[in-house]
Amino acid sequence: MPTLYEITGEMKALEEMIDTFTTDIDGNPRDLEPDDRDALLALVDEIQGQFSAKAERICRYMADVQAVAAACKAEEERLAKRRRAADRKAEALKWILETSMIRAGMEKAEAGTFKLAFQKNPPSVFIARPEDVPPEYWRIIPETREPDKRKMLDDLKAGREIPGALLSQGSSLRIR
């Protein structure tokens, strides 16, 4: 079977052929002989049938491709739910380890091929009262206004006091 591109080319050629047969040299309409008219109509029916069959095949293939895409999306959603559940479970297990080590007063532990140790996080700024933070510690972002924690962190590390903010440093469990 010809391609859709070839069929549409045949349709265009058929239109030109019909124009040629139905108009004279001066562009005036002319009547076709019944045999010529029947032959042209049969050719139109054949080309339209080819187009229809090809278009139906393309539509069926497109429906198959869309079904595959829908199945992939459903699988993505299913896997995303599984991933979120696994993430929550891993966080809960890490919390159990962390809590147990804190209760036992342990800073480090060996667990087979794993090493557990509390490690200080980088210093960060906790803003207790944003309204008390001086204007020089604010940065203006179009449509928003928020404290510049990087600048505040540097000044707090250098020993400067900033109203409404204090330097804090927590710790978290690292598993390697």
Q: pLDDT (tens digit, 9 = 90+) per residue, 138-150?
A: 988 787 788 999 9
Q: Write the pLDDT tens digit of every residue in 45-58.
A: 888 888 888 888 88
Contacts for 42 with CB less than 8 Å, ≥ 6 apart: none
Inter-CA distances, 23 with 13, 14, 19, 28, 102, Å: 16, 14, 6, 5, 97
Beta pairing class for 165-168 and 114-120: unpaired
What is the model's pLDDT at position 176? 63
Global pTM reads 0.51
Dist. CA 165–CA 155, nearest whole Å: 11
What is the model's pLDDT at position 52? 86
Taking the alpha carbons at both ends of the chain, their separation in whole angstroms is 62
Q: What is the mean pLDDT of residues 12-19?
A: 79
Instruction: Report the share of the chain in percent with pLDDT over 90.
Output: 56
Dist. CA 169–CA 70, nearest whole Å: 47
Mean pLDDT score of the chain, rounded to an integer? 89
DSSP 130: G
Contacts for 137 with CB less than 8 Å, ≥ 6 apart: 147, 148, 151, 152, 155, 162, 165
